[in-house]
């Protein structure tokens, strides 16, 4: 289902609606690019707020689609990862104010989607945030580690990536993973207010300064992260990785994996 784009004044509010929990799969990737194509065409000078529905921002990778893909071998994983990487690079480098209104749970790839926005306002109660890739047998891509270090600082990014901890909103705020908290009723209004901070006639200056702020991260992605990620398909498809995938699937679904 195509994502909705609603104008709130001069701000474009983009609501992710691919599936009820915004599990990230190829349909999600296509919806993201479709939405940002429409932003560039119809709302080119608009600050953007990105949010989800209900009590979920994004549950991260659609494991029902992606665990079987990871079992299919390195070549398929390499192709899939290039598509996945392109979605977060598009968000990270979008040349307009990008505010995540994190309306609920954000796990793994879903938390990365929030983190690559410029500013994050999260719901104050009921949500949980975490990067659980390593404990379920998925190496964190180097490109995302570098984006997370840019967003949160290296100590917090390392802790979150390596340990797979699950954080409350208060903990995430204290660590700097989100900039501020708001009630569910006030969340979207607050995110829109943040997005409106940049005056309309200063959008080009924002874009230039954003590029400058990200210059070191983008250099490291090109020179360090991308070469390291050439090893990623092997790390995602090794025998031990597949064992961890099957273990987690059993825990999650209460039945053995069929792949």
| CA distance readout (Å), 39 to 27, 35, 152 | 18, 6, 27
Is the C-alpha dihedral spanning 15, 20, 23, 24 positive or negative?
A: negative
State the DSSP code for 166. E
Encode pLDDT of 41-50 as tens digits: 999 999 999 9
Q: Is the pLDDT of residue 152 over 80?
A: yes
Encode pLDDT of 161-199 as tens digits: 999 999 999 999 999 999 999 999 999 999 999 999 999
pTM of the model: 0.96
Of 133, 170, 204, 223, the catalytic one is 133
E strand or H helix that includes residue 58: strand 56-58
Q: Which of 116, 60, 115 is nearest to 93 (CA)?
A: 116
DSSP 74-111: HHHHHHHHHHHHHHHHHHHT-SS-EEEEE-SEEETHHH
Residue-averaged pLDDT of the chain: 97
- Is 133 marked active-site? yes
Sketch the domain layout of the chain as residue ranges. Answer: 4-185
Tokens found for residue 89: 């690079």
Main-chain dihedrals φ then ψ at residue 65, nearest 5 degrees: -90, -40
Tokens found for residue 124: 């104050």
Q: Is the pLDDT of residue 1 over 80?
A: no
User: How far from chain centre, in Å, is Cα 101?
Assistant: 12
Long-range Cβ contacts of 174-178 (<8 Å, 24+ apart)? 176/152, 177/111, 177/115, 177/120, 177/129, 177/151, 177/152, 178/102, 178/114, 178/120, 178/121, 178/122, 178/129
Q: Which residue has the tokens 């273990």?
A: 247
The CATH superfamily label for domain 4-185 reads 2-enoyl-CoA Hydratase; Chain A, domain 1 (3.90.226.10)
| CA distance readout (Å), 31 to 27, 81, 169, 202 | 6, 17, 27, 29
Encode pLDDT of 59-107 as tens digits: 999 999 999 999 999 999 999 999 999 999 999 999 999 999 999 999 9
Encode pLDDT of 200-251 as tens digits: 999 999 999 999 999 999 999 999 999 999 999 999 999 999 999 999 999 9
């Amino acid at each position: 289902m195509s994502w909705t784009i609603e104008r709130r004044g001069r701000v474009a509010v983009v609501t992710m609606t691919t599936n009820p929990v915004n599990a990230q799969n190829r349909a999600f990737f296509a919806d993201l690019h479709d939405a940002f194509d429409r932003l560039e065409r119809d709302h080119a000078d608009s600050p953007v707020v990105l949010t989800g529905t209900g009590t979920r921002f994004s549950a991260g990778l659609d494991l029902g689609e992606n665990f079987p893909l990871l079992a299919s071998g390195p070549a398929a994983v390499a192709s899939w990862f290039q598509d996945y990487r392109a979605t977060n690079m598009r968000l990270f480098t979008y040349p307009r104010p990008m505010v995540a209104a994190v309306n609920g749970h954000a796990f793994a790839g879903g938390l990365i989607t929030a983190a690559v926005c410029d500013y994050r306002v999260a719901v104050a109660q009921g949500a949980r945030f975490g990067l659980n890739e390593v404990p379920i047998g998925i190496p964190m891509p180097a490109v995302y580690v570098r984006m997370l270090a840019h967003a949160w600082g290296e100590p917090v990014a390392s802790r979150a990536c390596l340990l797979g901890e699950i954080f409350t909103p208060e903990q995430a705020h204290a660590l700097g993973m989100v900039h501020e908290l708001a009630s569910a009723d006030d969340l979207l209004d607050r995110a829109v207010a943040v997005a409106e901070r940049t005056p309309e006639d200063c959008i080009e200056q924002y874009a230039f300064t954003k590029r400058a702020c990200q210059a070191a991260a983008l250099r490291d992605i090109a020179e360090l992260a991308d070469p390291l990620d050439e090893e990623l398909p092997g790390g995602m498809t090794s025998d031990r990785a597949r064992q961890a995938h099957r273990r987690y699937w059993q825990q999650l679904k209460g039945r053995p994996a069929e792949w």
